[in-house]
Chain A
Amino acid sequence: MHGIAFITRQAPHGSAAARETQDAILATSALTEDLSVFFIGDGVFQLLKNQAPKQIGSRNFAATFKLFDLYDIENIYVCQDSLLERGIDGTQLLIDVTCLSQVEMNAKIRMHAKILNL
């Protein structure tokens, strides 16, 4: 059994939810390396390259995903079905991630003792 699964399902910048989830992941990484991050649904938009949110008064927190490696957050999964449904391909993403089908994502999430769906 793995430790903690963070599931992030919100598009960035429309609300603070996606950024606050990222903060929670970073804070948790200070306590344990046994955590995984799952991008599902509109959450996949958080990983798009070339975001320029300053002009709408939002912070470019996508750049911080590049630090996940430094924080030893290595188990990062993206739902391939969510990408396909939204017409996004894996090359448009900012960081290296593991793309899994919805069925595989579900199985992977169920391997965690604590699940935070945000």
Chain B
Amino acid sequence: MLHVIKSSPFTTRHFDECLTYIQADDAILFIQDGVIATATMHKYAMCLLALDNSIKIYTLSEDLSARGLACQIGSNVDYTGFVGLTCEHRQLQTWG
């Protein structure tokens, strides 16, 4: 399953709630203000580092560079990669 998070972990609870539902072999994609989660080494980034290795973490590169940020955890995907991820995973849920 692909989980999509699009709001800052400092502003909403979507990040925390997603992490309580995530399972091995799932993936998380951070877009819009959600990219704050992987961009600097704060407490939420530490939560991501503690996840099972089978959980892949992606961040939308257009949203990172728009904000003057760079991804510190997981890998970058561009818009084409975003489409690729939605095809690759049989299920997707957006947390907000």
CA of A56 to CA of B82, assembled, Å: 14
Nearest opposing residue in chain B for A46, CB measure: B67
What are the residues of chain B within 8 A of A10 when measuring CB–CB? 11
Q: Is A115 close to B, CB under 8 A?
A: no
A87 and B36 alpha carbons, distance in the complex (Å):
10
Contact indicator B66/A86 (Cβ below 8 Å): no
A61 to chain B, nearest CB (A): 12
Contacts of A11 in B (CB 8 A): 8, 11, 33, 36, 67
Main secondary structure of the interface of A (DSSP, over half): loop
A52 within 8 Å of B (CB atoms):
yes
18 inter-chain pairs at a CB distance below 8 angstroms, sorted by A residue, are: A11-B8, A11-B11, A11-B67, A13-B32, A13-B33, A14-B33, A42-B10, A42-B36, A50-B68, A52-B68, A53-B66, A54-B66, A58-B66, A85-B43, A86-B10, A86-B42, A87-B40, A88-B40
